[in-house]
């Protein structure tokens, strides 16, 4: 389809994970290529959007940052219950953040089983502090699906990747792959195309 079509696909991606794993930094790097050493504490959820060309079609991708909302699981579910893609982020230097990401994955899967998933190990630039390896990560998520009859099918759909928001390593690839996977899943919808590029809106907080 022509990129200048009067309608466009729209999909929603939400980032979830412990505080300080780098969710906001990943979004900032993807949207602008920047990294802030002193990232201000996020309060309330916010979203940005970016127009992406996926399979020769223009797609409006909403990217939600739930920073600070994970403490309120009921409130956070408002953001992921209708998400097309979920990026579950952990810190490769913090094993407890991996455990939390597995818990989040299981919760989201119960509420939104059609979502596409990416499991992202951020802060890969801190190799000397690395304490979580990909083998253990995949094993943890595979174990999390032990009671699911679609275990193999779901596991094969999960993207596992290590990123560095600081260096930009694999950041674009992570978002693009999840967006493409979400489009292929077929749960996206169309809206009238508007002449806009990228936008950020604050929800909740101050």
Task: Report the chain's C-alpha Rg in angstroms.
Answer: 16
Does 205 reside within a domain?
no
What does pLDDT average to over the chain? Answer: 86
Does 91 reside within a domain?
yes
pLDDT of 106 reads 96
Tokens representing 166 are 């600081």
Element (H, E) at 46: strand 45-54
Does 1 reside within a domain?
no
Cα–Cα distance for residue pair 26/91, rounded to 1 Å: 12
Per-residue pLDDT tens for 136-187? 999 999 999 999 999 999 999 999 999 999 999 999 999 999 999 999 987 6
pLDDT tens per residue across all 206 residues of the chain: 445 556 788 999 999 999 899 999 999 999 999 888 766 665 567 889 999 999 888 899 999 998 655 555 555 788 899 999 999 999 999 999 999 999 999 999 999 999 999 999 999 999 889 899 999 999 999 999 999 999 999 999 999 999 999 999 999 999 999 999 999 987 677 776 665 555 455 555 43
pTM score of the predicted model: 0.85
Judged on CB neighbours under 10 Å (0-12, 13-18, 19+), 101 is buried
N residues, the chain: 206
- CATH number of domain containing 76: 3.40.50.300
Judged on CB neighbours under 10 Å (0-12, 13-18, 19+), 45 is buried
Helix (H, G, I), strand (E, B) or coil at 183: helix
pLDDT of 56 reads 86
Does 55 reside within a domain?
yes
Domain limits at 116?
7-195
Does 203 reside within a domain?
no
pLDDT of 8 reads 81
Say how many domains are in the chain: 1
Cβ atoms 168, 33 nearer than 8 A: yes
pLDDT of 46 reads 84
What string of DSSP letters covers 156-175?
HH-EEEE-BTTTTBTHHHHH
Angle between helices 134-144 and 95-111 (to 10 degrees): 30
pLDDT of 38 reads 66
Does 206 reside within a domain?
no
Does 29 reside within a domain?
yes
pLDDT of 206 reads 39
pLDDT of 190 reads 76
Cα–Cα distance for residue pair 206/200, rounded to 1 Å: 15
Could you tell me which residues come within 8 angstroms of residue 39 by beta carbon, excluding any fewer than 6 positions away? Answer: 24, 25, 28
pLDDT of 103 reads 95
Beta strands in 74-185 (DSSP E): 85-91, 116-122, 159-162
Other C-beta atoms within 10 Å of 12: how many?
Answer: 23
Other C-beta atoms within 10 Å of 163: how many?
Answer: 29
Does 101 reside within a domain?
yes
């Amino acid at each position: 389809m022509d990129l200048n079509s009067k309608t466009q696909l729209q999909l929603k991606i939400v980032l979830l994970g412990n505080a300080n794993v780098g969710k906001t930094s990943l979004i900032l790097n993807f949207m602008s290529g920047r990294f802030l050493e002193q990232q201000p504490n996020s309060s309330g959820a916010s979203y940005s959007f970016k127009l992406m060309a996926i399979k020769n079609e223009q797609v409006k991708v909403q990217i939600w940052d739930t920073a600070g909302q994970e403490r309120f699981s009921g409130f956070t579910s408002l953001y992921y219950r209708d998400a097309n893609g979920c990026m579950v982020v952990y810190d490769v230097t913090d094993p407890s953040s991996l455990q939390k990401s597995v818990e989040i994955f299981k919760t989201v899967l119960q509420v939104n089983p059609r979502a596409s998933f990416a499991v992202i190990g951020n802060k890969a630039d801190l190799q000397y502090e690395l304490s979580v390896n990909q083998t253990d990560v995949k094993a943890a998520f595979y174990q999390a699906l032990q009671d699911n009859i679609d275990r193999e099918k779901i596991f094969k759909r999960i993207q596992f990747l290590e990123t560095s928001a600081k260096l930009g390593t694999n950041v674009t690839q992570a978002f693009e792959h999840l967006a493409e996977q979400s489009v292929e899943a077929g749960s996206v919808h169309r809206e009238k195309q508007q002449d806009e590029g990228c936008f950020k809106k604050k929800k909740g907080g101050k």
